[in-house]
Amino acid sequence: MKYFDIVIKNGTILTMDLKNPVINNGIVGINGELISFLSEDEGNCFETKKLIDARNGIILPGLINGHTHAAMTLFRGLADDIPLMEWLSNYIFPAESRINPDFVYSGTLLACAEMILSGTTTFCDMYLFEEETALACKDAGMRSIIGEVLYDFDSPNYGSVEKGLIYTESLIKKWHNDPIISIAVEPHSLFTCSPDLLMAANELSLKHRVPLILHLAETVDETKQVEIKYGNSPVQHLNSLGILGPHIIACHCVHINADEIELLNKYDVKVIHNPESNMKLASGIAPVYEMLSSGITVGIGTDGCASNNDLDLFSEMDTAAKLHKIKNMDTTVMNAYAVLEMATIGGAKALGIEKIAGSIEIGKRADIIVIDIHKPHLTPMFNPYSHLVYSAKGSDVLHSIINGRLVMSERNLLTMDVKKVMEKANKISKNILAN
């Protein structure tokens, strides 16, 4: 008689593991944080504390949001339809100068609620007061890689840039070996960070063997600024500083050429694609198909709610697949499996967590979602990968397990009172408008 803490049965398992991709009528056994059993359900006898009936739905790894700014849920819709540099300089940076720890904690909880409800189990965050982000994620039960944003001007959290590096190192030490929270070093971008800051951040990243994450080559204006100031493109500028390496996670990479793609591939730099944000801010279309073809690991992200305006990775996958087909005028580009891979095991590889997440395999952490397929827009189902990318919505997610903990059951959040979270967000929004 087998014993499990949680059993999921009666569903098609899309493992995202190339060795064992699909298990029909599958069963997943979870003990503690880990997946401990995976097989076709042959009527095996077992005992379990919690049985989840997938009701002939799809069981798959939780989605991975490779880049966002979680607390910016509280800026959702604040300044739409404005160019990026004007958006940052005239609206976002001034608004952020007035935020506080409670703002970040509350905004992050709201983001966690939205992401769990739409199938995301891991996200990578860059923002201010990231200690509060970590605490909110712990309360929500959400896996996250987080980092305090660093830039040349003073921060409302830590003050001067020197203190920012100290603050980041304190986060690394405090959250070391936490089961769901990881820390990264996160300089904002090349146009807000001096070479000295970038090199100091890189040293800190290498010292503690954590990722270095930054925005890179997102807009034409950014690229021009870097070229005028340093005489190099953004990618070449990083290369001249000796920073490129497998620990680098570059978000956006919209304005890069073939030589720069080759350079990123040479140094095993990881990339996070943010199609909807890049479209909304008219930043451009990243050469994702070319990057993938060259061998670069590419994950997918939503960016923050001030520039998207949601955190639904199902919507993001659909956009990514279609956007690159029209860009390349080729229907075979970015097929459904490739895009789902970017949101699961590819995203895990991009964030350096592929040994614990991104696929359903024995010994990995149990980050699993269940999709309800009994919907008109999912009927009939010839190809589950196509349905997940082109037809499914975040609202089709029925159950969510993160690190072996059931955080959503039958679309009910179990780790927070979502009504209170939204009430707090609305209260804070009134203060934003008053300033």
CB atoms within 10 A of CB 191: 20
Q: Has residue 429 been placed in a domain?
A: no
Q: 26: which strand partners?
A: 11, 40
Length of the chain: 435
The answer as to whether 281 is a domain residue is yes
Task: Tell me, yes or no, whether 135 and 186 share the same domain.
Answer: yes
pLDDT tens digits in sequence order for the chain, 435 residues long: 789 999 999 999 999 998 989 999 999 999 999 999 999 977 767 899 999 999 999 999 999 999 999 999 999 988 888 877 787 788 877 878 788 999 999 999 999 999 999 999 999 999 999 999 999 999 999 999 999 999 999 999 999 989 999 999 999 999 999 999 999 999 999 999 999 999 999 999 999 999 999 999 999 999 999 999 999 999 999 999 999 999 999 999 999 999 999 999 999 999 999 999 999 999 999 999 999 999 999 999 999 998 899 999 999 999 999 999 999 999 999 999 999 999 999 999 999 999 999 999 999 999 999 999 999 999 999 999 999 999 999 999 999 999 999 999 999 999 999 999 999 999 998 877 665
Its domain, for residue 401, covers 2-61+360-413
Q: How many domains does the chain have?
A: 2
Give domain status of residue 404, yes or no: yes
The kind and range of the H/E element at 45 are none
> Does residue 31 sit in the same domain as residue 81?
no
Q: Which helix (H) or strand (E) holds 270?
A: strand 270-273
Question: Do 314 and 277 belong to one domain?
Answer: yes
Residues 208 and 306 occupy one common structural domain? yes
The verdict on residue 206 lying in a domain is yes
- What are the φ and ψ backbone dihedral angles of 217, each rounded to 5 degrees? 50, 45
- Sequence-ordered list of residues with C-beta below 8 angstroms from that of 292, at least 6 positions apart, any chain: 298, 338
Which residue, among 138, 139, 137, 142, has the nearest Cα to 118 in the 3D structure?
142
Q: Note whether 11 and 85 are same-domain residues.
A: no
> Do β-strands 212-216 and 181-183 pair in parallel, antiparallel, or remain unpaired?
unpaired
Asked whether residue 274 is assigned to any structural domain, the reply reads: yes
- Residues 267, 402, single domain; the answer is no
The partner residues of 38 in beta bridges, in order of sequence, read 28
Does 31 share its domain with 84? no
419 in any annotated domain: no
Helix (H, G, I), strand (E, B) or coil at 183: strand
